[in-house]
Amino acid sequence: MVHYTIQDSNPDNVFDVNMTSGEIFAALPVDYETTPFHWILIKASDSGENNQQGTNINVTVSVY
């Protein structure tokens, strides 16, 4: 099973990620006029006991 977590670039915890599906969602209201773009680093890792594997992905969220 793969687990997803936000690693960095989430000031004020504006965004959250569903740990099992990887779906990213706004946990707080977002305002285009204040911040039109957000950058988030997501980590995906498996639950292997002996040799846990993982990767990171940079996500850009555009607010319209």
Q: Which domain holds residue 17?
A: 2-62
pTM above 0.85, yes or no: no
Number of domains observed in the structure of the chain: 1
Q: Please give the pLDDT value at position 57.
A: 94
* Residue 34 DSSP label: T
CATH code (residue 8): 2.60.40.60
**1-56: pLDDT as tens digits:** 899 999 977 778 899 999 999 999 999 999 999 999 999 999 999 987 788 899 99
Triad 18, 57, 1: Cα angle to 5°: 45
Q: What is the pLDDT of residue 44?
A: 96
pLDDT for 15 equals 94
